[in-house]
Amino acid sequence: MTTEPQVIEVTLESTLKSVEKAEDLAREACAKAGFSEDDQHRVGMAVHESMINAILHGNKNDASKRVVLKIQVHPDRLEIRIRDQGTGFEPKSVRDPLEAENLLKVSGRGIFLIRTFVDEFRVRKAEGAGTEVTLVKRKYPNDRRSELGG
Ligand SMILES: Nc1ncnc2c1ncn2[C@@H]1O[C@H](COP(=O)(O)OP(=O)(O)O)[C@@H](O)[C@H]1O
Ligand SMILES: [Mg+2]
């Protein structure tokens, strides 16, 4: 048995069709990796929100800019990276949708949802240019061994 993760990588245009495509690929990978239907759904929604953010906030809807989706299937987890060609953002400065003043706002819930649906959410400046977000979904999130890589 190989320990190399299985990798799916696609370069997508900044369109709504790409959001659908990314969501489908992520759901398929989840299903193949043996996640429950609920988890497939959660990961699909997290990827949906991340793709919208990459296209809208990162690439500013510029049709010439691309989004790179990379899905790595490890035995104990799925890692999904979504890279845009924008200038990035500081996740700590994103407002909390649960604060009283934000409760009635219709926007500003994407990252909150992503954090709820996956086990890890990270943002970093990609090599070269752009922003890369990483979503990690663990098979056994309550198992300490999965944190230690074993
Ligand atoms: N890929 C990205 N590039 C730049 N800024 C981003 C990106 N993703 C999120 N953001 C910033 O984080 C904010 C919060 O994102 P989110 O919670 O999805 O809410 P919304 O998209 O409705 O504004 C966005 O308004 C934007 O300022
Ligand atoms: Mg959003």
Provide the whole-model pTM: 0.91
Rounded to 5 degrees, φ, ψ at 62 are -80, 115
User: Does some domain include residue 1?
Assistant: no
CB atoms within 10 A of CB 90: 7
- Determine contact, residues 48/23, Cβ cutoff 8 Å: yes
> What number does the ligand 1 atom closest to the CA of 49 have?
18
**Residue 65 pLDDT more than 90?**
yes
Residue nearest atom 8 of ligand 1, based on CA coordinates:
53
User: Does some domain include residue 13?
Assistant: yes
pLDDT in tens, 4-43: 789 999 999 999 999 999 999 999 999 999 999 999 999 9
% of the chain with per-residue pLDDT over 90: 71
pLDDT in tens, 70-128: 999 999 999 999 999 999 888 888 888 888 888 888 888 999 999 999 999 999 988 77
CATH of residue 126: 3.30.565.10
Q: Which of 62, 89, 135 to mutate to test the pocket of ligand 1 (most atoms within 8 A of CB)?
A: 89
**Residue-number span of the structural domain to which 125 is assigned:** 6-147
* Separation between Cα atoms, residue 110 and residue 131, nearest integer Å: 16
Q: Where are the alpha helices (DSSP H) in 1-150?
A: 16-32, 37-53, 110-117, 144-147
Q: How many residues does the chain have?
A: 150
